[in-house]
Each structure stands twice: as C-alpha cells, then as structure tokens.
C-alpha cells in the first residue's frame, strides 16, 4: 500500500516514538547488566527499565497501533 504524503508524518512520528522507547529500554537493561556492582546505577536502571516496560512501552505501542489502523482504514483501496 502506498500512502499519500499527508498520512506519512503522523505515522512516522508514532513509529519514532515507539522506537525511541525501545531504545531507552535497551540501554536501561544493558546498564543493568554491565554495572551489577554499582548498586545505585543498578537500582536506577531497574526502576527505569521497569517503568519503560510496563508503563511507557504499552502506551506508545497502543498509539502506534491506533494510528496504523486509522491510516489503513482511511486509505484502503
């Protein structure tokens, strides 16, 4: 399906938001694995990764899904 130019920016912004959240989650988990002896970093990294995984990521994924479904319904041939 080829999207018109007016539908692409909103879809791209929702996808970029989802990608950014996944990137932050990956860095938080990697920091948790790399620095197990630095307990303040491990504590902060665990808190950030848990928040991203259970609060932010589902919200951003739902937003991306809603935008994608709307674009498909509107521009379906």
Of the pLDDT bands very low, low, confident and very high (cuts 50, 70, 90), residue 65 is very high
Phi-psi region of 76 (alpha: psi -120 to 50; beta: other; left: phi over 0): beta
pLDDT of 59 reads 97
pLDDT digits (tens, 9 = 90+) for 10-23: 999 999 999 999 99
Which residues contact residue 12 at a Cβ distance below 8 angstroms, ignoring those fewer than 6 apart?
none
Say whether pTM exceeds 0.75. yes
Q: What span, in angstroms and rounded, lies between the C-alpha atoms of 60 and 77?
A: 27
pLDDT of 3 reads 80
């Amino acid at each position: 399906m080829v999207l018109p130019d007016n539908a692409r920016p909103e879809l791209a912004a929702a996808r970029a938001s989802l990608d950014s959240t996944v990137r932050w989650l990956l860095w938080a988990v990697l920091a948790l694995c790399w620095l197990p002896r630095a307990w303040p970093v491990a504590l902060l990294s665990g808190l950030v990764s848990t928040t991203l995984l259970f609060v932010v990521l589902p919200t951003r994924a739902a937003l991306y899904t809603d935008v994608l479904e709307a674009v498909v319904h509107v521009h379906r041939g």
